């Protein structure tokens, strides 16, 4: 797949899925194999648990993670003890998880591993830096259900999005759900000057004046917005939400007229429905990102965990047309 060369322009990659069983592990294995063939030193970890033989929810068989000689990986102590490879231990983290401390090791002989990594993005950023400092040209983070946070541009430089029949066995619904998330990922960025002004803001809802200066509106969270109404626009028609953006904020802004610009930190902070978003933008308003995530590829798993199979070519074509980007059947990659 041509997206591997694009990945190599970056230092860190996240693989995230719209749902469980969308083919993230198959995609990870393909990328690892191709990078091994290219002689690229790689490090890998996970924000959840990856590499189990059996799905914990559906009790179906799952692909295991295969690592190659020279690959560094971070996992929990318990899962490290279950590895099916020969490796050398390089580091033991002093911080503990429910599965023991996180350990870093280097593979000596190709084999299979269970990956379970950091629970927070802060720790994850440190681990990515650790892997790169150890000589890895690329650090890969495999995702977990409902953990899009690792795809934040503050964590990884680029991402691969996995979708499939597990999201919906109905082609029209699958396309709609994937297209909506894709549209959020691809929202426009603010100017470098505005990013510099807003990046230090850590909490609350802020108004931005015509000079680009942020002003605290005294609302610590969008969930506390209450009946603020037009008072939200007292500094101008640009607002910055430093934390989560929900339907509640969009619904509070929509009646206030047009030409409102709402800036979110990145797409992983958006917890909004298509209905609320469409109502907001239909009024002539827009949603922008402080920093946009770099989407490298979209992959498809046409099989649902219940065994339903979508037509691969028709689904890839429908998604490609809707997203205006190539979509790759991840299950054919390994064939």
Backbone angles phi, psi at 187, to 5 degrees: -60, 150
Residue 5 CB neighbours (<10 A): 11
Average confidence (pLDDT) over 250-264: 95
Write out the residue limits of the CATH 3.40.50 domain(s) in the chain.
3-185+293-333
> What CATH number was assigned to the domain covering residues 192-289?
3.40.140
Q: From the centroid of its chain, how far is CA 329?
A: 19
Burial 43-71 (b: 16+ CB within 10 A, else e): bbbbbbbbbbeeeeeeeeebbbbbbbebb
Token pair for residue 217? 């509106």
Spatial separation of the C-alpha atoms in residues 183 and 298, rounded to whole Å: 13
58-105 residue pLDDT tens: 444 457 899 999 999 999 999 999 999 999 999 998 777 788 899 999
Q: Which residue in this structure is represented by tokens 């029949």?
A: 165
Percent of the chain with pLDDT over 70: 93
- ∠ CA 284-222-274 to the nearest 5 degrees? 45
Write out the residue limits of the CATH 3.40.140 domain(s) in the chain.
192-289
Residue 61 is given by DSSP the state B
154-200 residue pLDDT tens: 889 999 999 999 999 999 999 999 999 999 999 999 999 999 999 99
pTM: 0.87
Determine the pLDDT at residue 318. Answer: 97
> What CATH number was assigned to the domain covering residues 3-185+293-333?
3.40.50
Residue 54 is given by DSSP the state B
């Amino acid at each position: 797949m041509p997206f591997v060369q694009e990945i190599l322009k970056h230092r860190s990659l996240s693989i995230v899925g719209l749902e469980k069983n969308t083919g993230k592990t198959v995609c990870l294995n393909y990328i690892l194999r191709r990078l091994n063939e290219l002689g690229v030193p790689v490090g890998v970890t996970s924000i959840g648990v990856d590499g189990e033989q059996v799905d914990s929810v559906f009790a179906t068989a799952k692909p295991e993670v295969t690592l190659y000689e020279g690959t560094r990986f971070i996992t929990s102590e318990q899962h490290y003890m279950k590895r099916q490879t020969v490796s050398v231990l390089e580091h033991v983290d002093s911080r503990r998880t429910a599965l023991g401390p996180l350990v870093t090791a280097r593979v000596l002989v190709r084999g299979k591993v269970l990956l379970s990594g950091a629970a927070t993005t802060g720790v994850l950023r440190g681990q990515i830096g650790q892997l790169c400092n150890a000589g890895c040209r690329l650090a890969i983070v495999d995702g977990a259900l409902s953990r899009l946070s690792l795809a934040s541009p503050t964590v990884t430089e680029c991402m691969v999005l996995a979708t499939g029949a597990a999201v919906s066995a109905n082609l029209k619904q699958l396309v709609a759900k994937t297209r909506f998330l894709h549209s959020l990922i691809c929202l426009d960025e603010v100017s470098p000057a505005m990013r510099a002004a807003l990046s230090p803001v850590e909490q609350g809802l802020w108004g931005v004046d015509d000079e680009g200066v942020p002003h605290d509106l005294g609302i610590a969270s969008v969930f506390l917005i209450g009946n603020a109404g037009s008072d939200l626009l007292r500094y101008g028609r640009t607002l910055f939400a430093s934390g989560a953006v929900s339907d509640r904020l969009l619904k509070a802004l929509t009646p206030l007229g047009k030409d409102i610009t709402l800036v979110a930190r990145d797409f992983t902070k958006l917890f909004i429905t298509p209905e609320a978003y469409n109502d907001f933008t239909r009024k002539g308003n827009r949603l922008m990102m402080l920093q946009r995530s770099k989407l490298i590829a979209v992959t498809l798993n046409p099989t649902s965990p219940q065994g339903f199979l979508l037509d691969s070519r028709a689904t890839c074509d429908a998604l490609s047309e809707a997203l205006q980007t190539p979509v790759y059947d991840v299950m054919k990659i390994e064939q």
